[in-house]
C-alpha cells in the first residue's frame, strides 16, 4: 500500500487508571474509524499515564492479557500503536509500545534509553530494552521508538539501516525550559531532531506526544509528521488534545532516496570498524583506571 491515512491521538491519559484509559482509547478508535484512519498512533504509556512510580506492577500487562483483546479486535479495521507497561515472563517491567494489526499483536518495542535525570527516574522502575528491529507492515517497513530513544542518534540510524521507511515515535515529553514567549525549549529541540532524522535518513518521522498534567509536570503535545524532505506535513497544537490525520505516500521515500542517496552511500564497514576501535580504547582506559584504584 503506497498511500495510507495516519492518525495521531494526542490525548491526556489518567495516571494509573487502566480501565478509564482503555475506555478513552475505545472512544478515540471510534472517532478515527469515522475519519478513515488506517494506522492510529497513541502516545507513550497511553494506557497508564507516565509518572507511575510504585504503581508500575499494578498496571502492567502481559501481551496475552485479555484486557488487550479489544485492541486486537479493533485492529481488524485499522492498525493501532499503544503505549503500555509490559510485564515479561520473568516479571520484569518495561516501558513498551505495541503494534496491533489484523486482529493480532504484531510487534512490541521496549524502550532502550531510560532517562534518569532532572524530573525523570525511569531506571528505578523499568528494565531497559535490548533490541531495535524494523518490521514489515502492510504500509511498508517501520520502526517503533519511545521518546528518549530518539535523543540518541544511533537509534534512528539503526532503524533506517534496518530498512525502516517510517519511524514511529511515541512520547510523553514534559515541557522543560519555559521561554519568555510561553514556549518550551525542549519542544523546539524535538522539532529540530524530528526534521534532522527525517532528512538524514530520508524517511517519514511520525511523532506522537501526549498532553495533560501529572505530578506537577505539563506535557506539551505538539505531535507532528515530517516528510523525508524535512517538511512538516501536519503539526498538532500544544497543550490541547487533538486527533490529527494525514496521508502518508511512501513513494516520497523512494523519490527522496534517489535524489539524496545518503543511505546507499553509508559505509557500514567503516562504522563497525571504528566502533570496535573505540570500544577497545574505552576498555583499555577502564582497565587502567581499575588498576590505579587498587
Cα gap 56→280, rounded to integer Å: 38
C-alpha R_g of the chain? 19
**Catalytic hit among 44, 86, 148, 256:** 44
**What is the 8-class DSSP label of residue 275?**
H
For residue 284, give every residue at least 6 positions away whose Cβ sits within 8 Å of its Cβ, in sequence order, or none. none
**Catalytic hit among 86, 122, 147, 208:** 147
User: CB of 98 within 8 A of CB of 84?
Assistant: yes
Report the SS3 class of residue 184.
strand
Cα gap 189→175, rounded to integer Å: 11
Cell numbers linked to 3: 498511500
Cα gap 15→49, rounded to integer Å: 4
**Catalytic hit among 111, 122, 148, 208:** 111
Active site residue 111: yes
Report the SS3 class of residue 32.
helix
Report the SS3 class of residue 266.
coil
Give, in degrees to the nearest 5, the angle at Cα 84 between 78 and 88: 115
User: CB of 232 within 8 A of CB of 190?
Assistant: no
Catalytic residues, by residue number, are 44, 111, 147
Amino acid at each position: 500500500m503506497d498511500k495510507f491515512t495516519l492518525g495521531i491521538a494526542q490525548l491526556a491519559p489518567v495516571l494509573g487508571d487502566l480501565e478509564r484509559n482503555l475506555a478513552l482509547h475505545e472512544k478515540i478508535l471510534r472517532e478515527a474509524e469515522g475519519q478513515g484512519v488506517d494506522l492510529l498512533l497513541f502516545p507513550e504509556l497511553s494506557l497508564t499515564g507516565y509518572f507511575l512510580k510504585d504503581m508500575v506492577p499494578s498496571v502492567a500487562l502481559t501481551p496475552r492479557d485479555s484486557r488487550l483483546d479489544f485492541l486486537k479486535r479493533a485492529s481488524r479495521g485499522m492498525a493501532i500503536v499503544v503505549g503500555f507497561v509490559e510485564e515479561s515472563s520473568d516479571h520484569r517491567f518495561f516501558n513498551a509500545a505495541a503494534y496491533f494489526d489484523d486482529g493480532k499483536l504484531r510487534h512490541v518495542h521496549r524502550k532502550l534509553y531510560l532517562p534518569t535525570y532532572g524530573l525523570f527516574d525511569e531506571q528505578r522502575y523499568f528494565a531497559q530494552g535490548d533490541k531495535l528491529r524494523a518490521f514489515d507492515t502492510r504500509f511498508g517497513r517501520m520502526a517503533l521508538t519511545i521518546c528518549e530513544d530518539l535523543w540518541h542518534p544511533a537509534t534512528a540510524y539503526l532503524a533506517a539501516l534496518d530498512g525502516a521507511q517510517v519511524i514511529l515515535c511515541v512520547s510523553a515529553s514534559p515541557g522543560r525550559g519555559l521561554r519568555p514567549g510561553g514556549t518550551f525549549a525542549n519542544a523546539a529541540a524535538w522539532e529540530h531532531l524530528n526534521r534532522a532524522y527525517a532528512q538524514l535518513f530520508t524517511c517519514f518521522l511520525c511523532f506522537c506526544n501526549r498532553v495533560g498534567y501529572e505530578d506537577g509536570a505539563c506535557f506539551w503535545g505538539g505531535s507532528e509528521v515530517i516528510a523525508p524532505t524535512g517538511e512538516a506535513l501536519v503539526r498538532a497544537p500544544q497543550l490541547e488534545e487533538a486527533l490529527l490525520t494525514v496521508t502518508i505516500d511512501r513513494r516520497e521515500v523512494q523519490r527522496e532516496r534517489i535524489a539524496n542517496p545518503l543511505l546507499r552511500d553509508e559505509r557500514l564497514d567503516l562504522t563497525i570498524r571504528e566502533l570496535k576501535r573505540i570500544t577497545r580504547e574505552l576498555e583499555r582506559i577502564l582497565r587502567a583506571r581499575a588498576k590505579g584504584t587498587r
